[in-house]
Amino acid sequence: MGESQKHVGVLGLGRMGAALAGALLGAGHDVVVWNRSPLKAGPLLDRGARLAATPAEAASADVVLSCLSTYDTQQPVLEAASPKVLVNLTSGTPEQARDVAKWAASAGVEYVDGVIMAVPQGIGTPAAQILYSGSETTFSAQRDVLEVLGKPIFVGEDAGMAALYDLSLLAMMWSTMAGYLHALALVGTEGVTPEQFAPVASAWQAAVGGFLPRIGEQVASGDYATDVSALDINAAGLAMLVETSRAQGISTAVPAVLRELFDRAIAAGHGAHAIASVIEEIR
């Protein structure tokens, strides 16, 4: 191997695990893979990967990436593997990541937790972002490997922080998608197609994204004064959305949740404040 190449083990060859191993092979790293079903390794073996018979064999590598289906299935594999350096890319909660970090510390394993903010097809491209937390020293030492997979972003030495960022970002994504689907259903009641609506919606979504820094500033300061758009005006708009949705014959589930939340914030005295004040009810 050249000086920039490393011996990398990959545990788990689902769609994401296979994409990780493929990107590492493409960058010239020496890759050994393990999966419960060895048949999944075929395409990677054709590209030069080696198949480990056991997790421990894969864990003899300089660094091991774990990308298994759940933490429950992962832990026995990790205990059997006993890697020297572990980058955990299995999806889970902050507490699950912290539990693995405690196990790693007790077992003398250098540990970094990571969450992948990309689909398998994006791995190895500039569009992929992967958030990491845990040992910053280990993160820095393995950066040459991690940069192959996507843009590495370190978010803190608390091992659970990457998972917390992940779920927070997914909260934004799921809420946005639910709102968009509601909008499509609403305009669709009058024959508007997704193709007609999408350009207007995309431009509006970009504009809404521009509001986020100011909202963040208001939350950080706790000063919710506004001369732009008070919460009570927005709550009135939500009431109109709920009523119009009902009149058009579609579910009110998405806006009704927001209306209830906004109404609670108004009842708590935030009617004249900015929308950012709703965080007080969320908290």
Percent with pLDDT over 70 in the chain: 99
Would you state the pLDDT for residue 131? 98
Would you state the pLDDT for residue 195? 98
Whole-structure pTM value: 0.90
Would you state the pLDDT for residue 258? 96
Residue pointed to by tokens 């894969």:
58
In angstroms, the CA 49 to CA 41 distance is 8
In angstroms, the CA 263 to CA 243 distance is 15
Compute the radius of gyration of the chain from its Cα atoms: 23
Joined tokens for residue 239: 């009431």
Does residue 4 register a pLDDT over 80?
Answer: no
Which one is the CATH code of 7-158: 3.40.50.2300, 3.40.920.10, 1.10.10.10, 3.40.50.720? 3.40.50.720
Name every residue whose Cβ is closer than 8 Å to that of residue 213 and which is 6 or more positions away in sequence.
none
Give rounded-to-5 percent helix, strand, coil for the chain.
Answer: 60, 15, 30
| pLDDT, tens only, 225-272 | 999 999 999 999 999 999 999 999 999 999 999 999 999 999 999 999
Would you identify the CATH topology of the domain 165-282? N-(1-d-carboxylethyl)-l-norvaline Dehydrogenase; domain 2 (1.10.1040)
In angstroms, the CA 134 to CA 219 distance is 27
DSSP state of 70: -
111 contacts 7 by C-beta, under 8 angstroms: no
162 contacts 131 by C-beta, under 8 angstroms: yes
**What is the residue extent of each domain of the chain?**
7-158, 165-282
Phi/psi of residue 9, nearest 5 degrees: -100, 140
Does residue 39 register a pLDDT over 60?
Answer: yes
| pLDDT, tens only, 171-222 | 999 999 999 999 999 999 999 999 999 999 999 999 999 999 999 999 999 9
Q: Identify the CA nearest to 269 among candidates 217, 231, 220, 243.
A: 231
Does residue 3 register a pLDDT over 70?
Answer: no
| pLDDT, tens only, 95-119 | 999 999 999 999 999 999 999 999 9
Residue 7: beta bridge partners?
30
One DSSP character per residue, 69-118 reads S-HHHHHHHHHHH--SEEEE-----HHHHHHHHHHHHHHT-EEEEEEEES
Does residue 2 register a pLDDT over 60?
Answer: no
Count of other CB atoms within 10 angstroms of residue 229: 12
Mapped onto helix, strand or coil, the DSSP state of residue 280 is helix
Would you state the pLDDT for residue 220? 98
One DSSP character per residue, 227-255 reads SS--HHHHHHHHHHHHHHHHHTTS--HHH
What are the strands, taking DSSP E only, across the chain? 7-11, 30-34, 50-51, 63-66, 85-88, 110-117, 129-134, 151-154
In angstroms, the CA 227 to CA 199 distance is 30
Does residue 153 register a pLDDT over 70?
Answer: yes
Would you state the pLDDT for residue 5? 85
| pLDDT, tens only, 45-96 | 999 999 999 999 999 999 999 999 999 999 999 999 999 999 999 999 999 9
In angstroms, the CA 3 to CA 79 distance is 30
